[in-house]
Amino acid sequence: MKIIDIAPENEHLYFCCLEDWSEEMKEAGDHKQRWYELMKAKGLRVKFAVDDKDVIGGMIQYLPVEHSIISGKDLFVVLCIWVHGYRQGRGNFRKMGMGKALLKAAEEDCEKSGAGGLVTWGLSIPVFMRASWFKKHGYKVVDKQGIMRLMWKRFRDDVQPPEFIKRKKKPSKGEGKVALTIFRNGWCPAMNLVYERAKRAAAEFDGKVEIREFETTDPAIVEEWGITDGLFINGKGIRTGPPPSYQKLKRKIGRKVRRG
C-alpha cells in the first residue's frame, strides 16, 4: 500500500468519493468539484491510499481551519477519511490499514507545514467517522455538539483548542409559502445529494415552496448564521445523514404545504 497526492488524472474519483459506480452520486451535481476548485488555492489537500494492485481504495481531505467548518487558528482540519467498503465498484478496502495510513500521512504533512495541530470530527455512535477510532490514534475531545465530537492532536503547546461553530440565527418560516432553506458548503457529496433532492421535491408543489439557498464558502454567511451545512423546512432542521430519499423529503415538504 502507498499514499499518493491527488492529481488531474484521479480528481474525478475524489469528486464522487470513490463511488464512480454509484447512480446516486450523479444526483449530487458538480458542487464538490466547484468547491474543490475554490479551496485548492486556499490550502486544501487530498491524499489517496493505493493498494498493491494500484487501485485507489481510500482518501482523506484536509484544509486550514480558517477555510473549514470549524472555528480555530493555526490548525488543519480533516473533513473526512473515507475507505471504500462496498462490494460494488472498486470493492471493499476496509480492515487493511488504509485509514490509519491516511491519517498518519496527513499528520506528518501538517506538522511539516508548521501547523499547530490536526483537528477532526467524530461521531459517538458506531458509524462513519467514529470518535472512538480517532481516540485510539491519540485524538482528544475538545468540544461536543449532539452526537458529534470535535477532536484534535496538538503538535505545539502554543495553539488554542478549536471549537464547533455555534449557531447564531434560526431560519424562519415562509410567509404564504413553505420555506426550504439550504446552507451548502459543497465539500460533501452526500449532503449535496440531499439538497438537490430537496430542491427537486420542492419543485413538485407548483410554486408553494420558496427555496432559500446560502453558499457557506462565503465567510460572511457563516459569521451571520453560524451554520455551515444544513437543510430546514419552515425553520425545522432535517437530518441529512444518512441521506433521506427523494420520496421521504417530498413527504416532509408535502405535509408542511398541506398545513398551510
Confidence (pLDDT) at 210: 97
At 240, phi and psi to the nearest 5? -110, 0
Instruction: Identify the band that residue 241 occupies on the pLDDT scale cut at 50, 70 and 90.
Output: confident
CA 149 from chain centre, in angstroms, equals 14
CB 260 within 8 A of CB 178: no
If you average pLDDT over residues 120-127, what whole number do you get? 94
Angstrom CA distances, 79 to 68, 89, 160, stand at 8, 23, 19
Instruction: Identify the band that residue 114 occupies on the pLDDT scale cut at 50, 70 and 90.
Output: very high
Helix (DSSP H) and strand (DSSP E) numbers for the chain: 7, 13
Host H or E run for residue 144: strand 140-145
Summary mean pLDDT of the chain: 96
Does pLDDT of 31 surpass 80? Answer: yes
Instruction: Identify the band that residue 45 occupies on the pLDDT scale cut at 50, 70 and 90.
Output: very high
Percent of the chain with pLDDT over 90: 97
Confidence (pLDDT) at 227: 97
- CA–CA dist 163, 144 (Å, integer): 9
At 253, phi and psi to the nearest 5? -65, -40
Does pLDDT of 5 surpass 90? Answer: yes
Confidence (pLDDT) at 136: 97
Tens-digit pLDDT profile for residues 76-111: 999 999 999 999 999 999 999 999 999 999 999 999
Structural domains in the chain plus CATH codes? 2-164 (3.40.630.30), 178-259 (3.40.30.10)
If you average pLDDT over residues 232-244, what whole number do you get? 95
Tens-digit pLDDT profile for residues 138-178: 999 999 999 999 999 999 999 999 999 999 999 999 999 99
Q: Which three-class secondary structure string do you get for the chain?
A: CEEEECCCCCHHHHHCCCCCCCCHHHHHCCHHHHHHHHHHHHCCEEEEEECCCCCEEEEEEEEEHHHCCEECCCCEEEEEEEECCCCCCCCCCCCCCHHHHHHHHHHHHHHHCCCCEEEEEEECCCCCCEHHHHHHCCCEEEEEECCEEEEEEECCCCCCCCEECCCCCCCCCCCCCEEEEEEECCCCHHHHHHHHHHHHHHHHHCCCEEEEEEECCCHHHHHHHCCCCEEEECCEECCCCCCCCHHHHHHHHHHHHHHC
Indicate the pTM of the whole model. Answer: 0.94
Confidence (pLDDT) at 260: 76
Angle at 150 between CA 148 and CA 153, to 5 degrees: 145
Does pLDDT of 187 surpass 80? Answer: yes
